[in-house]
Amino acid sequence: MRYRLYGTLAALLFVVPGTCWTQTAAGVPVKAMKLTVLSTMLVGTNPSGGVGEWGFSGLLEVDGRRLLIDTGLRAETVLRNAEELHIDLSTVTEVVLTHNHRDHTGGLITLRRELSRKNPQALSRTHVAQGAFLRRLTSDGRESNGLLPIKASYEQLGGTFIEHSSPFELWSGVWLLGPVPRVHPERNYGAGLRLQTPGGPVEDDVPEDTAIVVDAGDRLVVISGCGHAGIINTLEYARKTVKEAPIEAAIGGFHLFAATDEQLEWTAGRLRAVGLRHLLGAHCTGIEAVFRLRQLTGLARREAVVGAVGSSFTLGSGIEALALAR
């Protein structure tokens, strides 16, 4: 399979001044884990089960602790979907934004403002990977970084951004990967933007794209927003940095909706190699891509599912797809 090669930009990036966390010692594997999709295109049940949009958000619950991963596109989608699904987000203090795009950052301000009325600490700390605040310019000079317009507003609401330049254990058994190296030339991002680095403008390959990894003992669960770094780069980096274990589940967006048959065949071969058992492909993964990967990996219908609002993955019991996606 032929790809053009694109190197990482890690050496060119800098950390915007802000709060730094000290890395803790590696913890023990998690005992219980659930991820519930709060924003994606498909609604999997009835009209009282949320609305769809081009975006992603998921609530991760691990051993009694909760983390919001991305905040969808429209300002109120995640807030309203959580209400309709009877999920109280006011007890969530930590957020991870997997990258700078607006379809993952759009709900942050509304969520912080509304939920802090009930709990002042709600969504008060947002974790990003290094490079998330670099400027991205279109060909006519317009700014395209979805985080820059909301950074000041979030901080005025009492929120704090924390940047991570390397893998970081948020709490025992839950890791933020930081920027994912591009070992394989998976070009899972659009063209046209110029990233403004200290060394000058370069093509924007979304270098801060990151993911969450849950250490489930003898296996790993990986949650991605868009997978611009490439699903295989992401899964292999998780195995390299957290634990060399098979992948129990890959969940979220993996930007494969425009992938060719050749690319999907290559991807499926690599997924088999890392022992993938479950695929909950939401957002930009693509409906046809999920079906093709299901076929190519040999997974069963209940093991490779198109993600829907309210669908979930629970460690030990697998995917709950809801009626339409099932």
In contact, 309 and 50? CB cutoff 8 Å: yes
> Is residue 21 in a domain?
no
Residue 258 has pLDDT above 50, yes or no: yes
Query: Region 152-166: what's the mean pLDDT?
Result: 98
Query: Region 252-262: what's the mean pLDDT?
Result: 97
Residue 151 or residue 11, greater confidence: 151
Gap between the Cα atoms of 62 and 247, Å rounded: 17
Rg (CA), the chain: 18
Q: What pLDDT does residue 191 have?
A: 82
Strands 312-314 and 33-39: antiparallel
Tokens representing 76 are 């109120």
> Is residue 20 in a domain?
no
Confidence bin at 2 (pLDDT 50/70/90): very low
What does the DSSP 8-state code read for residue 25?
P
Give how many domains the chain has, as a whole number.
1
> Is residue 184 in a domain?
yes
Q: What is the DSSP string of 228-253?
A: TT-HHHHHHHHHHHT-S--EEEEEE-
276's CB contacts (< 8 A; 6+ apart) are 235, 246, 247, 249, 250, 297, 299
> Is residue 208 in a domain?
yes
Cα 206 to chain centroid distance, Å, stands at 13
Q: What pLDDT does residue 49 have?
A: 83
pLDDT per residue as tens digits for the range 87-117: 999 999 999 999 999 999 999 999 999 999 9
Query: Region 205-228: what's the mean pLDDT?
Result: 97
Gap between the Cα atoms of 248 and 276, Å rounded: 6
Sign of CA dihedral 229, 233, 33, 316: positive
Q: What is the span of the domain harbouring residue 266?
A: 29-320
Tokens representing 55 are 């975006």
What does the DSSP 8-state code read for residue 120?
T
Strands 211-215 and 220-224: antiparallel
Gap between the Cα atoms of 292 and 287, Å rounded: 9
> Is residue 325 in a domain?
no
Average pLDDT score, the chain: 91
Q: What pLDDT does residue 190 have?
A: 85
> Is residue 126 in a domain?
yes
Gap between the Cα atoms of 118 and 127, Å rounded: 22
pLDDT per residue as tens digits for the range 232-254: 999 999 999 999 999 999 999 99
Q: What pLDDT does residue 27 have?
A: 66
Residue 11 neighbours by CB distance under 10 Å: 8
Number of residues that make up the chain: 326
What does the DSSP 8-state code read for residue 12?
G
Query: Region 286-299: what's the mean pLDDT?
Result: 98
Query: Region 193-205: what's the mean pLDDT?
Result: 94
Strands 168-171 and 200-203: unpaired
Residue 173 has pLDDT above 60, yes or no: yes
pLDDT per residue as tens digits for the range 11-49: 333 333 333 333 433 568 999 999 999 999 999 877 778
> Is residue 24 in a domain?
no
* CATH code of the domain containing 186: 3.60.15.10
> Is residue 209 in a domain?
yes
